[in-house]
Chain A
Amino acid sequence: MSGEIDVIGSFANEEMCVHAIEELKDAHIQPTRVFAPIPSEHINHALGYGRSPVRALVLTGGITGILTGFAVTIGTSMEWWLNAGGKPIVSLPPFIIIAFELMILFGGTSAVLGFLLNSRMPQIDPIPGYSERFSSDRFGVLVRCPESEKDRVEGILKGAGGETVVHEAA
């Protein structure tokens, strides 16, 4: 572990940040972490990320919701078999509404849970390399590399228009 350092490049805008990532990629250096004040498809694209697994989770959640909705409504109605206004015991049209609402509810909560799980949140411990400006007006690219690589990485980052800071890896 010793000898590893974090090189952080700080950029004024998204374009420069994307440019830096592309440069790093060209140099076969994988940026360890990118900080951004805004969600950016360009950064994701540059990093080569695919679709988030949150999608699948939401789908699962939604289907679970629908199934729960129908199970709860049909099951509890069958339990007592109470006549209300001569309507059928299993009245599907109203149950669809419940199933629909539960689909949204379960889907929505899965989306949030999926996001939290996937991004390891909530997280109180600090993330190495984070700077307060990264939530405001700076984009950061962190590269964890052996100390030997420091100059090369720094060069690329600076070349892309960034200012660099070097930390010892935590």
Chain B
Amino acid sequence: MSEGFSRRSFLKLAATAGAAAAVPGCQPAARKLIPYVVPDENVIPGVPQFYATTCTECGAGCGVVARIREGRVIKLEGNPADPIGKGTICARGHAALQGVYNPDRLRNPMRRQGSSLKTVSWDEAEKLLNDALKAAAAKGKNRIAYLGPAHQGPTLRAITEAWLAAYQSYRGIFYEAISETPARDAAEMCFGQRDLPVYHLNKAEVLISFGADFNETWRSPVELGRQFAEFRAPQARRGKLAIGYAYYVSPRMNITAGRCDEWIAAPAGAEAAIALSVLNVILSQGWVSPNAQIDVAGLKSFVASYDPATVSQQTGVPAKTIEAMGERFGKADGAVALAGGDDPATHAAAYVLNVVTGNLGRTMEFLEGMPPEPETRTNDVVAALDSMRNGEVDVLFINETNPVFSMPPAWRAAEAIQKVPLVVWAGGVPGETAEYAHLLLPLHHPLEDWRDTFPRAGVHGLGQPVMQPVFWSKPLGDLLIASARESGVKNAAPWENSQDALRTGWMKLNPKAAAADAEGFWIQSLREGGYVEPTQQAQVKLNVAALKTSPASRELPKLVLAAYPHPFLYDGRGADKPWLQEIPEPVTQIVWDSWAEIHPETAKQYGISKDEVVEIRSSEGVIKTAAHISERVCKGVVSVPIGQGHTSLGRYAKGVGANPFVLLKPGQFSAAVTISPTHTTHELATALFKEHELGRSIVEAQTITELANGVKPKEWQTDEVPKPYEMYPTWQYPVHQWGMTIDANACTGCSACVAACYAENNVPFVGRENVINGRIMSWIRLERYYPEQKYEHQPLLFLAPMLCQQCHHAPCEPVCPVFAAYHTQEGLNGQVYNRCVGTRYCENNCPYKVRRFNWWKPEWPEPLNYQLNPDVTVRGAGVMEKCTFCVQRIRHAEINAMIEKRPVRDGEIVPACVQTCPTHALSFGDMNDKNSEMMKRRVATNNDKRTYRSLNELNTQPAITYLRELYNEREKA
């Protein structure tokens, strides 16, 4: 960003450009043209720029490329140079934009006076902070506390620690509500070191996940999702076409479980027992790999009390199932066990499972040079809270973290914070904790700031600001460095500012070490968004001696709460972003709410009906939320997603749903609860109505055996149309004929495509009421169907993205009276928004129901509208809209090709959904070009035997061809 481009001019320009490009049809366009005074060499108005940076929405640290138009970041896409995301990001990554442009972001420093907040200047605010810090430091050591998120990057971490040191404090608390501590504890127990392993699911053929939702929030979902898709892709194994066999053990069937072959319904807290029991089976059956070189006999005592029969009795999981899991896992050529959740025993069991079957170093490996443990240990967190409560802390600086919302009630965080004389909260959207702050400081959003990430050994992400700040905020690093300098301690912060700090730290990575090349390295790192260095496997050995005693099994209460992170809202930090609120949770398809998922039998037992508000009470607290009755949750379990129930955090989060943290004991995500119906109902908003496909070929699935034998699945044998039936001469598409191939088998339900579409195409979000009223606007949705009982074999879920099929015999087109819906010369199902009268006949006649009508004038509260893509019309009220394979991108590529006098290259055009799909389930290309990647995909490795077209019997000739979902036949129980 050039110096001459001031914040003020940005806002002005953004306002003008925004108004000119993005207002709905009937408003007058901006009538003023304000040129630059001095033009920025790098900025061409109307041409996007791309900056590589990193995503900090979770700890995975994917690299992203930000697309900038006229100084505004309008879209995030994965950085292809990044080894984690490999050019893709998840829904949460996309929604980072709504963090930048969140209308509820703190706009300027504020000070609490009495019950009201008063705007103060930065000078005033900083003086207040620094004076308090100096006074506190003068009083003694450790009178200052810092509370921040664990994944704030090495540089900021260093700055924070230097700042604390300048004021003689070591109370830096780096807190994550959903903690990796159990996994590290288990690693310490098993291997004597606290690093976490990295996984290679793609190298396995059997996978067991004990509650690790690796497609949603666990560790690095984009990377693991990609590996999982590879694991599930059909490939020849031992001369047979096979796909990986996946088990998922958890109280609730989440979307990760839904993509596995078997979901083992276990009550919350029973995962460890089952994991140990599987280990028991493997050890007792001797399916131990000779390569593992471990003392099997020594391990047997570790699992002694967990023979399948006993565990079956405790948990209700059939012994036969456990034995089958053990057998598959033990005999597999490459297997991986993953563990999530709060119980170190589960993690330990999973590690041991991987080790004994010889998969250490294969599907699971430890690397040298892993980043240090980012989280503060629980004991230290509690100690810090205690000292606050005892009045031993004078200044508490909170960065983004929301302890009041996410800490267990037993810790009484709010009470502790209230005891601190000066609470400084710094961040974006003020949440519950900010309510207790005396001073509120707006921080740069990570996309406006310099930062680095160090997600795992060998991967360093470098983030640069991609735009000028939207509000009157400051970077946290700068703030802390300046503050540290104020302390008077010499060389307290040996950096000029946070950029300098980042650069200083970054230069240590320079492999050439020659100072002369420093600038080149820096520029290259900036350009690539980071630096990747080769890694080395760490030599770790299972410490059998530490595993002598069998872990005690958790007691399983009669009714147990299973709280789990919402796939998009995570621990609640996503709740302020309307996209994440509006993208349906993939299994329940519920939006803008929290819910208590209860098995029908349990519901009957407690007299709970659908959508009835239930009161869930544990020893810690009580919440009320609506019941969602589903067979996809274990009996005797109440499953509540974490993330909602905010009483603050902006207009989109406030007052939505309930917060299950209230019910939890420290370090646990399950709790014994009682549940009682309240006889009031609260409709859970969902965009999908029927659960079953009713025998229609919308999402098809087949077993791997059927695929190998070239047999069509039984359920959909009748829909075959022998040849495309044409009543009229076939329409020719001489130049291009755009099409898509969607591998339903690779779809993990992560919904990144949905988020990408929202971002790219200016799709408005509508809110809960409108979703209930059937007015959700997303152009692409995950079509989720549950299997019906009547078939012998069925996958756990039918799942495929459903978007406009761009039919060549489009039912929507000839019914449009005004040619608003028509077929373009390149085979697209065009929609001319300005021609649309709004008869809605097209949507009536669309069998896929993928057209969306603007029931209201779409609204993006300022400054969310800055995110709007100026290349796409914002549709006004009364207009039908739909997916056009991102026609603006097609047009852009075609213009480029035309100017360069060459044909459009395969892969040059990538619609937003295709671009972002972590598993590459979607691919786009020219159907005229048989060599395009997309067309090849339809025929590659038996894929020709699993192609289908959605609702083929209607002969709509869609341009989208799906590849059937694949699954393994299960043994009959």
**Direct A–B touching in the complex (beta carbon < 8 Å)?**
yes
Footprint of B on A, CB under 8 Å? 80, 82-88
In the complex, the answer to whether A85 meets B823 with C-beta atoms within 8 Å is yes
Closest residue to B812 on the A side, CB-wise? A85
B816 at interface by CB-CB < 8 Å: yes
Highest count of chain A CB atoms <10 Å: which of B728, B809, B811, B816: B728
In the complex, the answer to whether B816 meets A84 with C-beta atoms within 8 Å is yes
In the complex, the answer to whether A84 meets B728 with C-beta atoms within 8 Å is no
In the complex, the answer to whether B814 meets A88 with C-beta atoms within 8 Å is no
In angstroms, Cα B823 to Cα A84, docked, is: 5
In angstroms, Cα B823 to Cα A80, docked, is: 12
Closest residue to A83 on the B side, CB-wise? B823
In the complex, the answer to whether A85 meets B819 with C-beta atoms within 8 Å is no
Interface residues of B in 569-591 (CB under 8 A from A): none
In angstroms, Cα B251 to Cα A123, docked, is: 89
B350 at interface by CB-CB < 8 Å: no
Interface residues of B in 848-874 (CB under 8 A from A): none
In the complex, the answer to whether A88 meets B822 with C-beta atoms within 8 Å is no
Q: Which residues of B contact A88 (CB under 8 A)?
A: 728-729
In the complex, the answer to whether B731 meets A86 with C-beta atoms within 8 Å is yes
Least distance between B850 CB and chain A CB atoms (Å)? 16
Choose among A80, A82, A86 the residue that contacts B808 (Cβ–Cβ < 8 A). A86
Q: Which residues of A contact B811 (CB under 8 A)?
A: 85
Tally of A-B residue pairs with Cβ under 8 A?
39
In the complex, the answer to whether A86 meets B819 with C-beta atoms within 8 Å is no
Least distance between B804 CB and chain A CB atoms (Å)? 14
Of the four ranges (under 10, 10 to 19, 20 to 34, 35 or more), the interface on chain B belongs to 20 to 34
Would you give the 0/1 interface string for B783-822, flagging 1 where the beta carbon is closer than 8 Å to chain A?
0000000000000000000000001111111101001011
Q: Which residues of A contact B816 (CB under 8 A)?
A: 84
Least distance between A10 CB and chain B CB atoms (Å)? 57
In angstroms, Cα B731 to Cα A88, docked, is: 9
B957 at interface by CB-CB < 8 Å: yes
Q: Please provide the 4 A-B residue pairs with the shortest distance between their CB atoms, ordered closest to farther.
A: A84-B813, A83-B823, A85-B813, A85-B814
Footprint of A on B, CB under 8 Å? 726, 728-731, 807-814, 816, 819, 821-825, 957
In angstroms, Cα B835 to Cα A80, docked, is: 15
Which secondary structure dominates where chain A touches chain B?
loop
Highest count of chain A CB atoms <10 Å: which of B813, B816, B825: B813
Closest residue to A88 on the B side, CB-wise? B728
Highest count of chain B CB atoms <10 Å: which of A80, A86, A88: A86
In angstroms, Cα B815 to Cα A84, docked, is: 8
Choose among B729, B730, B822 the residue that contacts A84 (Cβ–Cβ < 8 A). B822
In the complex, the answer to whether A80 meets B809 with C-beta atoms within 8 Å is no
Closest residue to A94 on the B side, CB-wise? B814
| Given A80-B819, A84-B819, 6 more pairs with CB closer than 8 A | A83-B813, A83-B822, A84-B816, A85-B813, A85-B823, A86-B726
Q: Which residues of A contact B812 (CB under 8 A)?
A: 85
In angstroms, Cα B810 to Cα A84, docked, is: 7
Least distance between B825 CB and chain A CB atoms (Å)? 8
Least distance between A109 CB and chain B CB atoms (Å)? 24
In angstroms, Cα B825 to Cα A86, docked, is: 11
Listed by A's residue number, 18 A-B pairs whose Cβ atoms lie within 8 Å are: A83-B813, A83-B822, A83-B823, A83-B824, A84-B813, A84-B822, A85-B809, A85-B810, A85-B811, A85-B812, A85-B823, A86-B726, A86-B728, A86-B808, A86-B810, A86-B823, A88-B728, A88-B729
- Given A82-B819, A82-B822: A87 touches B729 (CB 8 Å cut-off): no
In the complex, the answer to whether B728 meets A87 with C-beta atoms within 8 Å is yes
Closest residue to B731 on the A side, CB-wise? A86
Choose among B814, B821, B957 the residue that contacts A87 (Cβ–Cβ < 8 A). B814
Q: Which residues of B contact A85 (CB under 8 A)?
A: 807, 809-814, 823
Closest residue to B845 on the A side, CB-wise? A85
Q: Which residues of B contact A87 (CB under 8 A)?
A: 728, 814
Q: Which residues of B contact A86 (CB under 8 A)?
A: 726, 728, 730-731, 808-810, 823, 957
Q: Which residues of A contact B819 (CB under 8 A)?
A: 80, 82, 84
Least distance between B299 CB and chain A CB atoms (Å)? 66
Q: Which residues of B contact A83 (CB under 8 A)?
A: 731, 813, 822-825
Least distance between A70 CB and chain B CB atoms (Å)? 19
Least distance between B954 CB and chain A CB atoms (Å)? 12
In angstroms, Cα B729 to Cα A85, docked, is: 12
In angstroms, Cα B809 to Cα A117, docked, is: 50
Q: Which residues of A contact B825 (CB under 8 A)?
A: 83
Q: Which residues of B contact A84 (CB under 8 A)?
A: 810, 813-814, 816, 819, 821-823
Q: Which residues of A contact B807 (CB under 8 A)?
A: 85
In angstroms, Cα B321 to Cα A120, docked, is: 97
Q: Which residues of A contact B729 (CB under 8 A)?
A: 88
Closest residue to A82 on the B side, CB-wise? B822
Least distance between A34 CB and chain B CB atoms (Å)? 51
Least distance between A63 CB and chain B CB atoms (Å)? 27
Least distance between B927 CB and chain A CB atoms (Å)? 15
In angstroms, Cα B871 to Cα A24, docked, is: 86
In angstroms, Cα B730 to Cα A85, docked, is: 11
Q: Which residues of B contact A80 (CB under 8 A)?
A: 819
Q: Which residues of A contact B823 (CB under 8 A)?
A: 82-86
Least distance between A155 CB and chain B CB atoms (Å)? 69
In angstroms, Cα B728 to Cα A80, docked, is: 19
Closest residue to B955 on the A side, CB-wise? A86
Q: Which residues of A contact B810 (CB under 8 A)?
A: 84-86
Least distance between A82 CB and chain B CB atoms (Å)? 5
In angstroms, Cα B731 to Cα A87, docked, is: 8
Least distance between B638 CB and chain A CB atoms (Å)? 50
Least distance between A81 CB and chain B CB atoms (Å)? 9
Highest count of chain A CB atoms <10 Å: which of B729, B731, B809, B816: B731
In angstroms, Cα B825 to Cα A36, docked, is: 66
Least distance between B634 CB and chain A CB atoms (Å)? 48
Least distance between B956 CB and chain A CB atoms (Å)? 9
Closest residue to A87 on the B side, CB-wise? B814
Least distance between B926 CB and chain A CB atoms (Å)? 18
In angstroms, Cα B145 to Cα A23, docked, is: 125
Closest residue to B957 on the A side, CB-wise? A86
Q: Which residues of A contact B808 (CB under 8 A)?
A: 86
In angstroms, Cα B728 to Cα A88, docked, is: 7
Least distance between B813 CB and chain A CB atoms (Å)? 4
Least distance between B516 CB and chain A CB atoms (Å)? 62
Closest residue to B956 on the A side, CB-wise? A85
Least distance between A166 CB and chain B CB atoms (Å)? 64
Least distance between B969 CB and chain A CB atoms (Å)? 40
In angstroms, Cα B821 to Cα A85, docked, is: 9
Q: Which residues of A contact B821 (CB under 8 A)?
A: 84
Least distance between A139 CB and chain B CB atoms (Å)? 52
Least distance between A98 CB and chain B CB atoms (Å)? 12
Q: Which residues of A contact B824 (CB under 8 A)?
A: 83
Closest residue to B823 on the A side, CB-wise? A83
In angstroms, Cα B732 to Cα A83, docked, is: 10
Closest residue to B810 on the A side, CB-wise? A85
In angstroms, Cα B957 to Cα A83, docked, is: 14
Least distance between A101 CB and chain B CB atoms (Å)? 14
In angstroms, Cα B728 to Cα A82, docked, is: 15
In angstroms, Cα B825 to Cα A80, docked, is: 12
In angstroms, Cα B954 to Cα A86, docked, is: 14
Closest residue to B825 on the A side, CB-wise? A83
Least distance between A102 CB and chain B CB atoms (Å)? 17
In angstroms, Cα B603 to Cα A86, docked, is: 52
Q: Which residues of B contact A82 (CB under 8 A)?
A: 819, 822-823
Least distance between B94 CB and chain A CB atoms (Å)? 34
In angstroms, Cα B819 to Cα A87, docked, is: 13
Least distance between B327 CB and chain A CB atoms (Å)? 54
In angstroms, Cα B812 to Cα A88, docked, is: 15
Q: Which residues of A contact B731 (CB under 8 A)?
A: 83, 86
In angstroms, Cα B830 to Cα A80, docked, is: 15
In angstroms, Cα B531 to Cα A147, docked, is: 122
Least distance between A88 CB and chain B CB atoms (Å)? 5
In angstroms, Cα B821 to Cα A87, docked, is: 13
Least distance between A74 CB and chain B CB atoms (Å)? 16
Least distance between B869 CB and chain A CB atoms (Å)? 27
Closest residue to B827 on the A side, CB-wise? A83
In angstroms, Cα B822 to Cα A29, docked, is: 71
